[in-house]
């Protein structure tokens, strides 16, 4: 049994969906579950729609109409004018229509999940319909009835026992004679509300299904040839890894390597399931294999760049030493706001942390910490993490840049740059 995950870039247009169907056709006769993300940049557009709705912006309906038109244009290229899929996607967008008719009253994160989740619901409807049209028998599955989470909106915590019971109860029978198509990124609460698993969480969805179904492997189809040592958008001389260990992959994703969601590796490692990262434009290429026994030669360092970072420093109002009680208060504040710390440094009188600038989160953290601490901060920063570094690599990456904080350990160097 195999699990495939197709990201937004692989289904951004009609040609991408046709390519997906051809990849799937190559695996005819095998049990196959497909996890699909929202198309192209739809998640970004739905995030903008969420902000416009909460702010009651005049651009609200224009943004929504552009999202619908984008999907309708793709469907028009793939189907006949009166095909059922047109009604299916219109009915799916109705979930947003109903919400937009009322003024926002709920928590922002709750609203976010109810709106942004529609991207995956629509994309999988289209993919499933096209597979059937192309002669690949497939079944659409609403993931919200199978991946069960708590009520932590935008960062749903998976209830593993309940999730695996429901997946194992229904999905094997569905896989017996057809491909199963489901949504990445989404989960459902016991009250039947939609949650999301964290930005770019479709990889994690694939890993959850694979672990529960004891899959042979997970393949995530990307717009890159495999896992690279650096983002080709920022660096021109990147190299691909043929093999990586689970441990190295976890380190890379923890520090922000965007090719795989950070939560993906753990369930696969626990179940001993290899992860393949392959290019959807060249499906016969070997890509990268991530497994327990894989080893990599690091001829070049792994470089991870994260933009829009905040560096925040706290000190005691009485100018006392930073104690364990102070650290506990800071960590509790970040945990309560569901914000991950990317790097930290403690001195006698201050404690500094670097984290992603997420809308709405920073203001809450700042107000809470100001009650007990003196607080200083810088925004709009860049965090560079270098694994398996050499001194000359670090000099090249940081020259002519102001370094606000740096840390070097045996294998990893981090720099916060203005």
Q: Say if strands 341-346 and 288-291 run parallel, antiparallel, or are unpaired.
A: unpaired
Digits of tens for pLDDT over the chain (418 positions)? 999 999 999 999 999 999 999 999 999 889 999 999 999 999 999 999 999 999 999 999 999 999 999 999 999 999 999 999 999 999 999 989 989 988 898 899 999 999 999 999 999 999 999 999 999 999 999 999 999 999 999 999 999 999 999 999 999 999 999 999 999 999 999 999 999 998 888 999 999 999 999 999 999 999 999 999 999 888 988 999 999 999 999 999 989 888 888 899 999 999 999 999 999 999 999 999 999 875 666 888 999 999 999 999 999 998 889 999 999 999 999 999 989 999 999 999 999 999 999 877 899 999 999 999 999 999 999 999 999 998 888 998 998 899 999 999 999 999 999 9
Torsion on CA atoms 114, 119, 120, 124, rounded to nearest 10:
130
Q: Residue 241 and residue 301: Cα distance in Å, rounded?
A: 11
* pTM reported for the whole predicted model: 0.91
Q: Say if strands 275-279 and 179-183 run parallel, antiparallel, or are unpaired.
A: unpaired
Place of tokens 């960062």: 155
Enumerate the β-bridge partners of residue 165. none
Domains, the chain, ordered by start: 2-222 (3.40.1160.10), 302-417 (3.30.2130.10)
Length, in residues, of the chain: 418
State the burial class of residue 392 (Cβ atoms within 10 Å of its Cβ: 0-12, 13-18, 19+). exposed
User: Which segments of 37-117 does DSSP mark as H helices, in order?
Assistant: 42-54, 60-78, 84-100, 108-116
Contact 263, 201 (CB under 8 A): yes
- Phi and psi at residue 58, to the nearest 5°: -65, -20
Contact 416, 381 (CB under 8 A): yes
């Amino acid at each position: 049994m195999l699990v495939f995950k197709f990201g937004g870039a692989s289904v951004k247009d009609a040609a991408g969906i046709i390519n997906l169907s051809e990849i799937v056709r190559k695996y005819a006769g095998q049990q196959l579950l497909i996890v699909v993300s929202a198309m192209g940049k739809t998640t970004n557009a739905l995030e903008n729609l969420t902000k416009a709705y909460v702010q009651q912006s005049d651009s609200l309906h224009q943004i929504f109409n552009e999202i619908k038109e984008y999907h309708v244009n793709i469907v028009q290229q793939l189907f006949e004018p009166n095909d059922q899929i047109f009604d299916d996607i219109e009915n799916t967008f109705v979930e947003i229509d109903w919400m937009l008719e009322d003024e926002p009253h709920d928590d922002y994160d709750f609203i976010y999940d109810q709106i942004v989740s529609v991207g995956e619901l629509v994309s999988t409807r289209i993919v499933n319909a096209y597979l059937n049209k192309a002669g690949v028998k497939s079944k659409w599955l609403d993931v919200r009835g199978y991946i069960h989470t708590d009520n932590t909106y935008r960062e749903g915590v998976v209830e593993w026992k309940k999730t695996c019971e429901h997946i194992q109860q229904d999905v094997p029978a569905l896989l017996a004679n057809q491909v199963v198509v489901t949504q990445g990124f989404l989960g459902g609460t016991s009250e039947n509300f939609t949650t999301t698993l964290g930005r770019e969480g479709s990889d994690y969805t694939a890993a959850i299904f694979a672990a529960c179904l004891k899959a042979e492997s997970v393949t995530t189809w990307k717009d890159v040839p495999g896992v690279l040592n650096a983002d080709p958008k920022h660096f021109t001389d990147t190299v691909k890894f043929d093999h990586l260990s689970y441990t190295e992959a976890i380190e890379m994703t923890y520090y922000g390597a965007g090719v795989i969601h950070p939560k993906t590796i753990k369930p696969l490692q626990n179940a001993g399931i290899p992860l393949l990262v392959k290019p959807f434009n060249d499906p016969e290429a070997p890509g990268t294999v991530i497994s327990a026994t894989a080893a990599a030669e690091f001829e070049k360092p792994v470089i991870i760049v994260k933009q829009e970072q905040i560096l925040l420093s706290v000190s005691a109002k009485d100018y006392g030493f930073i104690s364990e009680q102070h650290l506990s208060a800071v960590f509790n504040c970040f945990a309560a706001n569901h914000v991950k710390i990317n790097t930290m440094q403690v001195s006698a009188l201050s404690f500094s942390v670097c984290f992603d600038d997420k809308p709405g989160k920073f203001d809450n953290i700042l107000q809470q910490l100001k009650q007990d601490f003196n607080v200083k901060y810088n925004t709009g920063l860049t965090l560079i993490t270098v694994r398996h570094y050499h001194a000359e690599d670090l000099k090249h990456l940081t020259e002519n840049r102001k370094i606000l904080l740096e840390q070097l350990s045996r294998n990893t160097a981090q720099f916060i740059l203005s």
